Structure 1
Amino acid sequence: MGAGQSVKTIYGKIGASVQAFFFEYETPRVITMKSRRIGVLYRLVQLALLIYLIGYVFVYSKSYQRFDVADSSVVTKVKGILQRDMPNGAPAEIWDSNDFVVPAQESDAFFVATNLIFTENQGQGLCPEDRNVGRRGIHCSNDTDCPAGTPTPYGNGVRTGRCVLPNGTCEISGWCPTEIDYTPKKPVLYGFDTVTILVKNHVNFRNFGVKRRNILESFSQAYLQSCRFHPVTDPLCPVFGFRDMVTFANESLDLMAVRGGIIGFGIEWNCNLDRDLEECLPRYTFKRLDSIHDKVAKGWNFRHTFYYYDANGKSRRDLVKFWGIRFVFLVNGLAGKFSIVHFLMHVGSSIGLFGIASLVCEVILNYWRSSSVLNDSKFVNLEDLKAKRRMSIMTSSASVNSAAAAYRYNLKGATEDQSVGETDHRRSSSMAAVVIPLSAKDVIPYNDSVSHELNHATDKTNSEWL
């Protein structure tokens, strides 16, 4: 019987829990506190959060949009004529873009030569090593300083075992005559104002199926032949002057042309696809990437060779050491378009962010001088509540027992006096003192069984309250 009652109790609790889950709604207790300081602070914090969310999150950062990074391709076409100073008063040599753009095409970069050392008509043979190499094992005073069959460190060939005097360097087998490595004090090429670069940039935003290029459909052939880029007067022209690009990078071409350098050519696409697609336009920037203050390996240079055969069928070459400016394209493409998912996600997180205002006020109220009164109103201690309810039930039971005892006493007094009138008077007096009219058989003395029932009722009330 006890086990069956226990199972029935468990099922009853489960049923009550299920019923409460579907048919009960809980809401937090709200306490209104009249305080100008706290009220103003609460609204100021909310206002600051609202400005941040609207101004930064939605307007500036456009968090309601879905973004995509662009795939990019850059092709250049360099045109212009340079002249080269020739030694011994010879007429200037004319160089076109095929001569000073080496190599003709690079991946996302291009190079324009500004200075050079030209070593012509080299052939395989024997000759003294260049004194300017300046490495140990180059200079010698006798043949023992030049072990045969060993290459010269950072040099131009293999030592033959002979020391060439009065040159004071080891003889080598290699391309002769060797290059005389030095840096000209001024550029040997000039006429850079005639050099222009046409830049063709294509970007593709794959997630949105949008393709753009920097040469707009509204451009005519006549416009491309006459326009020159300027960040203020003509910011969309794709034709750039060579000297202008160096100037836009805050550098001097006359100084940079001696040792060369690297300039970053920035192309930025920042497109809002919620607007007209024609507003998706590039922005060009320039900055020098290497440092003018470098002490070692300064600037940018490399060597290039031109091979050919002489009249006797012997292989010959011209060796050119180029200094120049290398332009590296830095393309940054970002497009955004409205997305309902991103919008709802950021709206939801923004609503939750407003809880900071309540948190700030709660922290301040914890140090408020009347915080104890506020806490008594906000928080309920279960043990205190349980004790109060027990005391209330016990007090009610004691009152009922007192009234019942008085009633029994009056009945007894009526029997002894044998006076109906006096009995009625006492009965009416005792009944006036009883809050709830009861008969004598309804009164149960307060003993251990009553205490057990009170505890059971109190626990049941508390469990229902939880």
Structure 2
Amino acid sequence: MDTVSSNNRRFSISTFMKDLFFGFVTEYETPKIVTIHSYKITTLLRIMQIGLLLYSIVYLFFYEKGYQKQDSSIISSVTLKVKGIGYIHTGNNETFIVDGTGMLVYNYIVPPSENNAIFIMTNFIQTDQVRSKCAESVTVSQAICTEDINCQNKPYMANVNGRWTGRCLFSSKGNISNETNNATNQTTGLCEIQGWCPVEDDHQETTSINEVLNFTIFIKNFVEFPAFNVKHKNMVENLKPGVYDPINNKDCPIFRLDYILNEAEKNRTERELMLRSGAVIRAKIDWDCNLDRSIKLCKPVYSFARLDTPFAEETFSIGFNFRFASHWKHHKKYLRSLTKAYGLRLIICVSGKAGKFDFITLTLNTGSIVGIFGLATFVCDIILLNLTKKASLYRDFVFQRVEIERMRSNSVSQKIQDHDETVATIYENINTNEPTLSSPIWIAEPFVRFSERTCTTTSTPTLIHSNQLLRLQPSLGLTNIMK
């Protein structure tokens, strides 16, 4: 019995696999389509489809170049050159020339070279100093004293300008003695330091560099897009002489400082404060190259913006400044010229992308666009099946509900009906005239009686002659029963 069951099971599995294979090869499946006549829903669907079509073709394909492979991993190198001659006026009605090389007394480019940045000094405070002893700065409140003991055993302070000697000076000159100090009528003084003298006074009026707005900055930019092995630069072959102009000469990478300042800050008062106290400006070079055309047609777009906080919004540490010094030795004395520089720090930022036609990218984006069209049908289905007056009626046509128990009951009922028809056929054959009748044979006829909840099986005897039974064997599924 187990062998027969195992054989039937193997046969069923092989039949299933065979049917599955032939079905996969020969059967084509398509979703059920329900056609609904509704002017409102149809109009809404067409409007959405037209809108999605225009969005896909105009924006995704043409504006965003959906048919191109994009590369935004740009490699960039920037060099900067500043040219211009400025001048300053001194207190003795003297004029000094300021240039970008430092060969004409003063240098406005400090330091001479930076990485993707440049500093242009617009005004400064210069203090000539020598290594000696002198009074501390009046801005250091802890340095105010009335006697020497006030300047001794002081803790370390970050704002001092040198090492305190322990003496209290009642004069700004450091070469007077204590006896002289005691003879004066002054009651308060400043502690003496040993260091660079005299100390810097950065509250005095700064020295401005005139004609600084007429300085020109040459921005030379080299870029590479490694995905396409393409190199380019921002200098065209037929470069016109002059400076950058957004209308007449936008290919020229030479900019006047006045133009950069006006683009970075629109407020005139803020621009004046930027020149006086310094500021930080961002210069952005943006590339967008279409490599389906000649690389010579790819030109960058320049923009300038201010990075530091406006003076109207900031009260602490405004502007941009730093100090630098020039040292030398004369007659065994160490001297230096300390300069506190205010100016504009220009930081260069380069970004960009390049695109070239790619069949795989085109195929993927086309598939995405086709999928977008399903959004219109999805929205219309939600409206049709949930928000319309006949939503329940539409759902009956669109959705098919499957109940397993009811399907089983219908299948059993169909089998009973087929069984009854077979029995009726047998009785009709019994009543027909047969030339020779053999001895009758009693067989048990199984049938099933169904109620709503119970199922019973009984047997009813039926009289059938052997000749008729032989004729009905195939229809009853019997073989060799008379043998």
Smaller-chain TM-score range? 0.7 to 0.9
Indicate yes or no: 2:327 matched with 1:324: no
CA distance in 2, matches of 1:411, 1:372: 60
2:233: which partner in 1?
213
CA deviation profile, 1:203-234 (whole Å, cap 9, x unmatched):
11121121111221222xxx44xx11121221
Match of 2:265 among 220, 234, 250: 250
2:319: which partner in 1?
299
Contact 2:119/2:344 (8 A) holds in 1 = yes
2:132: which partner in 1?
125
Trace 1:22-421 onto structure 2 (pairs within 5 A): 22-69=25-72, 70-87=74-91, 89-98=92-101, 99-120=107-128, 122-132=129-139, 134=140, 136-147=141-152, 152-166=157-171, 168-182=189-203, 184=205, 188-219=208-239, 223-224=240-241, 227-251=242-266, 252=268, 253-292=271-310, 293=312, 294-310=314-330, 312-367=331-386, 368-377=388-397, 378-383=399-404, 384-399=406-421, 401-402=423-424, 405=427
Alignment length, in residue pairs? 414
User: What is the identity, as a one-letter code, of the residue corresponding to 2:136?
Assistant: E
CA distance in 1, matches of 2:262, 2:19: 82
Contact 1:187/1:257 (8 A) holds in 2 = no
1:429: which partner in 2?
none
User: What is the identity, as a one-letter code, of the residue corresponding to 1:74?
Assistant: V
1:9: which partner in 2?
12
Contact 2:289/2:298 (8 A) holds in 1 = yes
TM-score by length of 2: 0.78
1:447: which partner in 2?
447
Unaligned runs of 5+ in 2: 102-106, 173-188, 435-440, 457-483
Aligned CA-pair RMSD = 3.0
TM-score by length of 1: 0.80
Deviation of the 1:260 alpha carbon? 0.9
CA deviation profile, 1:32-51 (whole Å, cap 9, x unmatched):
22222222222222222222
Deviation of the 1:271 alpha carbon? 1.2
CA distance in 2, matches of 1:301, 1:336: 42
CA distance in 1, matches of 2:11, 2:5: 10
Deviation of the 1:353 alpha carbon? 2.2
CA deviation profile, 1:130-180 (whole Å, cap 9, x unmatched):
113x4x533323222223686542221111111222553221111111111
CA distance in 1, matches of 2:227, 2:46: 42
CA distance in 2, matches of 1:50, 1:406: 70
CA deviation profile, 1:96-144 (whole Å, cap 9, x unmatched):
1121111111111111111111112x22111111113x4x533323222
User: What is the identity, as a one-letter code, of the residue corresponding to 1:447?
Assistant: F
Cα distance change of structure 1 residues 178 and 187 upon mapping to structure 2, 3 Å threshold: closer
Unaligned runs of 5+ in 1: 413-440, 453-466
Q: Quick check: which one's helix share is greater?
A: 1
Cα distance change of structure 1 residues 396 and 44 upon mapping to structure 2, 3 Å threshold: farther
CA distance in 2, matches of 1:228, 1:299: 28
Deviation of the 1:57 alpha carbon? 2.1
SS of the residue aligned with 1:11? helix
CA distance in 2, matches of 1:398, 1:157: 121
SS of the residue aligned with 1:394? helix
CA distance in 2, matches of 1:444, 1:239: 111
CA distance in 1, matches of 2:53, 2:116: 44
CA distance in 2, matches of 1:45, 1:385: 41
Contact 2:77/2:221 (8 A) holds in 1 = yes
CA distance in 1, matches of 2:415, 2:448: 14
